[in-house]
A and B are shown apart, each in its own frame.
Chain A
């Protein structure tokens, strides 16, 4: 079995986001970038499945600018066997990314595709489901447990009401929740080994995919500042206000 894992390079989750003055986006210059956190869980799970003997190869793929190579390299350092970087300039919409990934799937013919449930930059939460639709594969989103069976996966999903378990036929797409596992650290020797693993580079434009944006980003703003409220003098007043003014209890 072969598992393809899609990873995205995003602004590190510890970095405080700063909106550009002209409203054209957020500042990304001189900002620490990292792998999208749940994508780390996706790689970890794929590598675990490989270590259990149920998969033979784990291929990491990223779509983005040249520097996304670092993200692929990081996946190689924690156990992916080889990498693919599809180079594309500018921000791509999930629809375009899923079309690119579709081409990669057609070429690589993996049995499973894993990725994080959502990217922490655009917060779209679309790519996995879109890829599943384009490939006519089943999807298991928000996975917090994956059980690999003969021809199917049993996946536990984190849903609003609690947990749901579904079975999906292989081939399938799984989008991973942060609770799926605890990603391992890349060790120094493995980082060294990863430098020698191959990364195939492709251009999005060569894949025949239309990546033109369909959504125009008119402006990006800071969230509205919360205005300071009032101080209440007593518990009684607090309860009255919550009941009669805020109407929340």
Chain B
């Protein structure tokens, strides 16, 4: 059965900062363009999770009068702290010794989800059509191999793949240009990178897993505008990661933890590291007496310029974190994603109006401040493969003395799925039990995400080899999916004395960590039925 189709000038996949920016910029450049945005979440913002300390540079270019438009950008950064944590101690790092890229005094503490909701309103006012609840599940190609558009997911398929009464076929959205802006590890972006070899001659991509909780804390301990980062405990010197704590409006703090997915010990549980981190006296004293109101997790992309794939291909562009424009030393990806969207819109408009080639994206990108920023940032993340201490020393030299202008580029050597060592060679980690006050278990955390997937649908976490988890991964790595998944999707259960790999796909919060970290790349994340997944509020 051929699917119904709808034609647009530009089809944008993903309603995050880069996709919405592209849509807005396109309409600003040419209000006659027909532009649509597909979003898998039930509403814009519901799958967005980010720190977030926001640099307004790209937004200043996109909507210069944003201050007059009731934007949710309100809390200016007023104070900064950087702590090195030991097990019980903390060392306050003088902020004058921080590289300039880590200084935030002109930035704002925001909820990126709310910013996206606001951007969506701006886009709709300009005539962009936004379709939340419609995941793009398939890339459509022309006969010449160029991208023709995407198809949305069929709805109403049962767990065996049969049509239910409510079956509603997906439809084809065809664009002169299709923009992929799915965020980190987009499942279509991943296919495009492979098909068009966009990552040829690039370093393997690097990822991290980021956790975030929102706490409502005691007024006396709340300092609106305070930005605090930590490094060190509970992670060892060889594991890349650190925390953030942003004091936002309404007595809320955004508390988070990021761990590089190149960690080596399969016994490590990123979720439990984050929970344990909160018990540090320097952190506990701030959140104690407060209440956790939100939880979420999302993979983020850290490879930077060395790993950034080519962002154009026939008929399509790949932008934002779907490509990998995050600036790691700045710990910011929103302004860079938005800038990549502005450049995309300009390139597409030239392409549609004057027939210029989409490959101009490369040149436009290289001429922009975005490229310069990423170039200066490029050596920081790889230097941490030497450990935290050497990484910091190198970063000091690279960022403070040379401002990112050292005449060489460090390489990322391994993809994150290759870094795990066999379980028996690595120390086991005993994590303390949750106290349900400061620290929590996974199930009660996942509950706060509001995630759900309608039951009786196809499992959206596919195994290339269904026997591999038990026959190989369990034996060799003690099946790390049980620990790296922040939502308790994967379990190894004993049933009648045989081990069984259980996938609780309804718990999935769309973070994509399994798709990245599974040592044999055996787990493939695909889109579930539209509207499934978390229902984040102001993440």
- A56: CB under 8 A from chain B? no
B residues apposed to A, CB below 8 Å: 4, 6, 42-43, 46, 111, 113-114, 129, 131, 134, 152, 155-156, 164-166, 168-169, 171, 173, 216, 293, 447-448, 450-452, 530, 535, 537-538
Residue numbers in B under 8 Å from A189 (CB-CB): 4, 6, 171
Measured CA separation A184–B165 after assembly (Å)? 8
Residue numbers in A under 8 Å from B113 (CB-CB): 30
Check A12–B156 contact: CB distance below 8 A.
Answer: no
Residue numbers in A under 8 Å from B46 (CB-CB): 32
* Also in contact, A183 and B535, with CB within 8 A (given A15-B450, A32-B43): no
Measured CA separation A182–B156 after assembly (Å)? 10
Q: Which of B168, B169, B451, B538 contacts A30 (CB 8 A)?
A: B538
List 20 A-B residue pairs with CB atoms under 8 Å apart, sorted by A's residue number: A15-B537, A16-B447, A18-B293, A21-B216, A30-B113, A30-B538, A32-B42, A32-B43, A32-B450, A182-B165, A184-B168, A185-B156, A185-B168, A185-B530, A187-B169, A188-B6, A188-B134, A188-B152, A189-B4, A192-B6
Residue numbers in A under 8 Å from B43 (CB-CB): 32
User: In the complex, what residue of chain A is closest to B530 when comparing beta carbons?
Assistant: A185
CB proximity of B505 to chain A, nearest CB, Å? 15
Residue numbers in A under 8 Å from B166 (CB-CB): 182-185
Q: Which of A16, A29, A185, A191 contacts B155 (CB 8 A)?
A: A185
Residue numbers in A under 8 Å from B451 (CB-CB): 14
8 tightest A-B CB contacts, nearest first: A30-B537, A185-B168, A185-B155, A30-B538, A32-B535, A14-B452, A14-B450, A15-B450
Residue numbers in B under 8 Å from A159 (CB-CB): none
CB proximity of B166 to chain A, nearest CB, Å? 5
* Also in contact, A12 and B450, with CB within 8 A (given A30-B537, A32-B42): yes
Measured CA separation A189–B113 after assembly (Å)? 27
- A31: CB under 8 A from chain B? yes
CB proximity of A246 to chain B, nearest CB, Å? 25
Measured CA separation A21–B252 after assembly (Å)? 13
CB proximity of A78 to chain B, nearest CB, Å? 10
Residue numbers in B under 8 Å from A185 (CB-CB): 155-156, 166, 168, 530
* Also in contact, A188 and B131, with CB within 8 A (given A15-B450, A16-B448): yes
Measured CA separation A97–B175 after assembly (Å)? 45
User: In the complex, what residue of chain B is closest to A191 when comparing beta carbons?
Assistant: B131
Question: Contact string, A132-174, partner B, CB cutoff 8 A, digits 1/0?
Answer: 0000000000000000000000000000000000000000000
Measured CA separation A189–B169 after assembly (Å)? 11
User: In the complex, what residue of chain A is closest to B169 when comparing beta carbons?
Assistant: A187
Measured CA separation A12–B450 after assembly (Å)? 9
Measured CA separation A31–B117 after assembly (Å)? 12
Check A16–B450 contact: CB distance below 8 A.
Answer: yes
Residue numbers in A under 8 Å from B216 (CB-CB): 21
Q: How large is the interface on A (under 10, 10 to 19, 20 to 34, 35 or more residues)?
A: 20 to 34
Measured CA separation A7–B114 after assembly (Å)? 27
CB proximity of B400 to chain A, nearest CB, Å? 39
In chain A, positions 1-51 with a C-beta closer than 8 Å to chain B are 12, 14-16, 18, 21, 29-32, 34
Check B450–A188 contact: CB distance below 8 A.
Answer: no
Measured CA separation A132–B293 after assembly (Å)? 41
CB proximity of A152 to chain B, nearest CB, Å? 27
Q: Which of B131, B164, B537 contacts A182 (CB 8 A)?
A: B164
Q: A15-B450, A32-B42, A32-B537 are in contact. List 12 more A-B contacts (CB 8 A).
A: A12-B450, A14-B451, A14-B452, A15-B535, A21-B216, A30-B537, A32-B43, A182-B166, A185-B530, A188-B171, A191-B131, A192-B6
Residue numbers in A under 8 Å from B165 (CB-CB): 182
CB proximity of A124 to chain B, nearest CB, Å? 24
Check A187–B535 contact: CB distance below 8 A.
Answer: no
* Also in contact, A30 and B535, with CB within 8 A (given A16-B447, A16-B450): no
Check A30–B114 contact: CB distance below 8 A.
Answer: yes
Measured CA separation A29–B537 after assembly (Å)? 8
In chain A, positions 172-219 with a C-beta closer than 8 Å to chain B are 182-185, 187-189, 191-192
User: In the complex, what residue of chain A is closest to B444 when comparing beta carbons?
Assistant: A16
Residue of B4, B152, B164, B535 most packed against chain A (CB within 10 A): B535
Q: Which of A12, A15, A187 contacts B171 (CB 8 A)?
A: A187
User: In the complex, what residue of chain B is closest to A44 when comparing beta carbons?
Assistant: B166
User: In the complex, what residue of chain A is closest to B131 when comparing beta carbons?
Assistant: A188
Measured CA separation A29–B485 after assembly (Å)? 29
Check B293–A12 contact: CB distance below 8 A.
Answer: no
CB proximity of A249 to chain B, nearest CB, Å? 29
Residue numbers in B under 8 Å from A184 (CB-CB): 166, 168
Question: Contact string, A53-74, partner B, CB cutoff 8 A, digits 1/0?
Answer: 0000000000000000000000
CB proximity of A52 to chain B, nearest CB, Å? 15
Measured CA separation A225–B134 after assembly (Å)? 38
User: In the complex, what residue of chain B is closest to A33 when comparing beta carbons?
Assistant: B43
Check B535–A12 contact: CB distance below 8 A.
Answer: yes
Measured CA separation A189–B173 after assembly (Å)? 11
Residue of A14, A16, A34, A187 most packed against chain B (CB within 10 A): A14
CB proximity of B252 to chain A, nearest CB, Å? 11
Residue numbers in B under 8 Å from A18 (CB-CB): 293
User: In the complex, what residue of chain B is closest to A13 when comparing beta carbons?
Assistant: B452
CB proximity of B155 to chain A, nearest CB, Å? 4
Measured CA separation A187–B153 after assembly (Å)? 11
Measured CA separation A32–B43 after assembly (Å)? 7
Measured CA separation A32–B535 after assembly (Å)? 7
Residue numbers in A under 8 Å from B293 (CB-CB): 18
Residue of A12, A32, A187 most packed against chain B (CB within 10 A): A32
Measured CA separation A30–B72 after assembly (Å)? 11
Measured CA separation A185–B155 after assembly (Å)? 7
Residue numbers in A under 8 Å from B173 (CB-CB): 188
Measured CA separation A15–B531 after assembly (Å)? 13
Measured CA separation A187–B206 after assembly (Å)? 37
